[in-house]
Amino acid sequence: MSTVRHLAEEVSSGLRAVLPGINKNPLYKLSLCAAAVLEVQSCNTMDIAAVLPLETERIDMRYQWLSRFLSTDSIDNDEVMRPFIRQALETASASGETLILCIDQTQLSDRFGILSLSLRFGGRALPLLWRVRKGQGNIGSDICMELLEKIKSFLPEGSRVLLLGDRFYGQAPLIAFCHRSGWDYRLRLKENLKVFNEAGDETSLADLVPAEKKGRKELLMKNIYLTEQRVQTNLSILQEPGHDEPWLLAVGGTEPNYYKTLDYGMRWGCEAMFSDFKTRGFGLEDTKLERADRIARLMLILSVAMHWCVLAGLRDRMRNPLPREKKLKISDLTTLPTRMRNSMSCRQSSEKLGEVSVLISKEDSGCSEDTLRCSVPCLPCFLHCEKVMDGKSLSTYPISAEYTPFLN
């Protein structure tokens, strides 16, 4: 249990630093639970209770302690997630990249539904906000709109957003929300939806699917209107060879095209996240909890654990770069974006963290020296550079000082 206790103390110190307004006692309990979940890699409450580093040796008292925490109202899930959300969004958009948000729902057998808003991050997704409701069926669009309205307050200034959603979320109100918010979107539509052209002629989406029997089926339409609410959007229909069903997508922007349609494939990052929570990871679907609020609190424990693991992974990447990262040349580095230049610290690292160096001009860094030489990755400068897929440029990810307690 010493490993669990040490991990809990690391998580707790970071939580206290970024959430000073929340009582320390429930934060420490949350840290203990997150550490225990990482240790047992299970959502079975008896397994979690068994490794909690508590003074008592009795498993029944450990279980009662865990049950009381899951039912407490002294912690607001959204408030605890606030610094995690801000950090994830700022990191993902640090070099001007589009933030890719996924809205989707998963079922825990026939007992609970979990609506989750997540951020695509590194080929997977990180949970940001969620709501749990008892029973089968889709969680209402009003709850979906609540999550989207809340996440707007966390977005970095000037950031671009792409919202991805499955068939249940291809609804007129959600598309109208994206228009009002200036977001791009790729939302899958149901085949039975009514669509209207600019002349007012009505048809169903199923009737618009191309009838070709071989090869790729594709149809792009601008300025169509969905349902009787007549919400304007663009339509993209695509069915690749070997796929059983076509994608029927509402596509934002001025004009649809094949590559915008393929953006929808990034939605599978949230499916990987659900898999991490459920069958291939913590086994959330096997929990015996019977109340939605306790499932939501368990989701908070899992989410804190997942975000902490991602931050730990970033730290390891910074401290232990791959051989190819150590061999990068100065000519491979791109100019830092304006947002990064304005927020970057110019402190010199006293610790040798890697053999790769970055040369930043005085004009770019604002440093009094002609050049600022930092080890990459370099924690004191909150600077990390990662090779992108083309192998020619670097994306720059600042790690906010707000999160240094997790990384020190």
Task: Please determine, for residue 142, whether its predicted confidence score (pLDDT) is greater than 70.
Answer: yes
CATH code of 78-273, in short, is 3.90.350.10
> pLDDT band for position 308 (50/70/90)?
confident
Per-residue pLDDT at 6? 85
**Which residue from 138, 116, 137 is spatially nearest to 127, judged by alpha carbons?**
116
Per-residue pLDDT at 192? 87
Return the top range by mean pLDDT from 282-296, 344-358, 365-379: 282-296
**Which residue from 116, 225, 144, 236 is spatially nearest to 188, judged by alpha carbons?**
236
**Which residue from 110, 117, 162 is spatially nearest to 137, judged by alpha carbons?**
110
> CA–CA separation, 220 vs 207, rounded Å?
14
Task: Please determine, for residue 254, whether its predicted confidence score (pLDDT) is greater than 80.
Answer: yes
Per-residue pLDDT at 1? 58
Q: DSSP letter at 154?
A: T
- Average pLDDT of the residues in 204-228: 85
The three-state secondary structure class of 59 is helix
Task: Please determine, for residue 214, whether its predicted confidence score (pLDDT) is greater than 90.
Answer: no
* Tokens 């100065």 belong to residue: 330
- Average pLDDT of the residues in 171-191: 93
DSSP secondary structure of 75-140: S-HHHHHHHHHHHHHHHHTTTSPPEEEEEEEEEETTTEEEEEEEEEETTEEEEEEEEEEESSSPPP
- Average pLDDT of the residues in 29-57: 91
Residues sharing a CB contact under 8 Å with residue 340, sequence separation 6 or more, in sequence order: 94, 95, 396, 398
- Average pLDDT of the residues in 173-177: 93
Task: Please determine, for residue 311, whether its predicted confidence score (pLDDT) is greater than 90.
Answer: no
Per-residue pLDDT at 271? 92
> Domain locations in the chain?
2-75+305-316, 78-273, 321-407
Reported pTM: 0.77
> pLDDT band for position 327 (50/70/90)?
low
- Average pLDDT of the residues in 228-234: 89
Task: Report residue 224 as tokens.
Answer: 């169509």
Task: Output the CA angle 193-197-203, nearest 5 degrees.
Answer: 40
Q: DSSP letter at 12?
A: H
Q: DSSP letter at 232?
A: E
Per-residue pLDDT at 361? 35
Task: Please determine, for residue 390, whether its predicted confidence score (pLDDT) is greater than 90.
Answer: no
- Average pLDDT of the residues in 255-279: 92
> pLDDT band for position 402 (50/70/90)?
very low
> pLDDT band for position 398 (50/70/90)?
very low
- Average pLDDT of the residues in 175-188: 95
Per-residue pLDDT at 216? 84
* Tokens 């009094």 belong to residue: 368
Q: What is the pLDDT of residues 96-109, one digit of tens each?
A: 889 999 999 999 88
Order of strands across the sheet that contains 202-204: 124-134, 112-121, 99-108, 161-165, 184-188, 247-251, 231-239, 217-226, 194-196, 202-204
Q: Which of 28-32, 243-247, 273-277, 370-374 has the lowest mean pLDDT?
A: 370-374
> pLDDT band for position 325 (50/70/90)?
low
Per-residue pLDDT at 328? 53
Per-residue pLDDT at 350? 32
> pLDDT band for position 206 (50/70/90)?
confident
Task: Please determine, for residue 339, whether its predicted confidence score (pLDDT) is greater than 60.
Answer: no
Q: What is the mean pLDDT of the chain?
A: 78
C-alpha gyration radius of the chain: 24
Per-residue pLDDT at 12? 83
Q: Among the residues of 186-267, which ranges form H helices? A: 205-208, 258-262
Per-residue pLDDT at 352? 32
Per-residue pLDDT at 395? 34
Proportion of the chain above pLDDT 90, given as a percent: 43
> CA–CA separation, 9 vs 32, rounded Å?
8
Task: Please determine, for residue 332, whether its predicted confidence score (pLDDT) is greater than 80.
Answer: no
